[in-house]
Amino acid sequence: MEATREPPSEEAIPEIPADLENIFRTATRFDAGRMRMQAPIVCLQTWEEKGAIAALRRLAASLQREFYVWSAGKGLVKENGQLMGDLYREPGRALEFIRRHKSGGLFVLADFRPCLEDKMVVRILREMAMEHETARSLLVLTAPRLPVPPELQPVCAGFDWPAGGQADPEALYREIAEEVAAATGAGIDLPGAEREALLRRVREMPAGRARFEIARALMARAG
């Protein structure tokens, strides 16, 4: 009997780059306050925010750090889903909350690029780094594109993760073709040239977007 093929997990958590993980583990291992250690602000360019947050949440748990995510839509949200209040939707107030937080959390500030155009926000972040508060409460700024202001470049560590182009596009195509066939009851394939053009186009896309584009092309062929 043929084994049942497991569908791909939408909740797969990507592996954190070793250099990025080492920043957090080093800051946690040492007494940052006593050593006056300046841990960098992590500037994370990512199109896969959900996967990045899931991986950072898992890392925070392994380091026994509280975990918070900030967004303009919800403000600060604690790891258990607790909303910290509408007051903290404003990025400057959220940063002040982080400065007062004494137990050493890991804070992800999502889609933070527009906030870096605010000179007050940039100044607060710079002060937090100079006063070694970024070692006590670790900061991760995320956005699909995250140019760092000159004032913060000396105190930031930049990463692109998770990146597009990690999956084998041929394997992804076959996988999605099987899913489309199961959903429609018909085997569907694209002509050679059209298929090659599609695979070239999705090669550098984040996995979620690549899956969508391949499925859309196949479903269009199904009519």
Q: What is the DSSP string of the chain?
A: -PPPPPPPPTTPPPPPPHHHHHHHHHHHHS-HHHHT--PPEEEEE-S-HHHHHHHHHHHHHHTT--EEEEETTTEEEETTS-B--GGGGSHHHHHHHHHH--S--EEEETT-GGGGG-HHHHHHHHHHHHTTHHHHSEEEEEESS-PPPTTTGGGEEEEE-SPTT-S-HHHHHHHHHHHHHHHHSS-----HHHHHHHHHHHTTS-HHHHHHHHHHHHHHHH-
Give yes or no for a contact between 146 and 113, defined as CB atoms under 8 angstroms apart: yes
* Mean pLDDT, range 35-51, rounded to an integer: 85
* 87-131 pLDDT tens trace: 999 999 999 999 998 888 999 999 999 999 999 999 999 999 999
Look at 12 and 137; give whichever has higher pLDDT: 137
Which tokens go with 86?
């509408």
The residue segments making up the domain with residue 174 are 169-222
Q: What is the pLDDT of residue 15?
A: 85
Which tokens go with 113?
């690029």
For residues 111 and 195, state if they share a domain: no
For residues 144 and 103, state if they share a domain: yes
For residues 56 and 127, state if they share a domain: yes
Relative to beta strand 67-71, strand 75-78 is antiparallel
2 — pLDDT class (breaks 50, 70, 90): very low
For residues 45 and 125, state if they share a domain: yes
Q: What is the dihedral of CA 55, 135, 83, 43, to 10 degrees?
A: -60
Q: What is the pLDDT of residue 31?
A: 56
Number of domains in the chain: 2
Relative to beta strand 67-71, strand 106-109 is parallel
* 183-221 pLDDT tens trace: 777 788 888 899 999 998 888 776 667 888 888 888 888
Residue 4 has pLDDT above 50, yes or no: no
* Mean pLDDT, range 12-24, rounded to an integer: 86
Q: What is the pLDDT of residue 10?
A: 47
For residues 150 and 195, state if they share a domain: no
For residues 39 and 111, state if they share a domain: yes
State the average pLDDT for the chain: 85
**Domain CATH number, residue 69:** 3.40.50.300
8 — pLDDT class (breaks 50, 70, 90): very low
Residue 124 lies in a domain: yes
Spatial distance between the Cα atoms of 203 and 131, rounded to a whole number of angstroms: 43
Residue 35 lies in a domain: yes
Residue 125 lies in a domain: yes
For residues 23 and 107, state if they share a domain: yes
* 131-177 pLDDT tens trace: 989 888 999 999 988 999 999 999 999 998 876 555 678 888 888 88
* Mean pLDDT, range 38-60, rounded to an integer: 91
Residue 1 has pLDDT above 70, yes or no: no
Residue 1 lies in a domain: no
Residue 108 lies in a domain: yes
Q: What is the pLDDT of residue 32?
A: 52
Residue 83 lies in a domain: yes
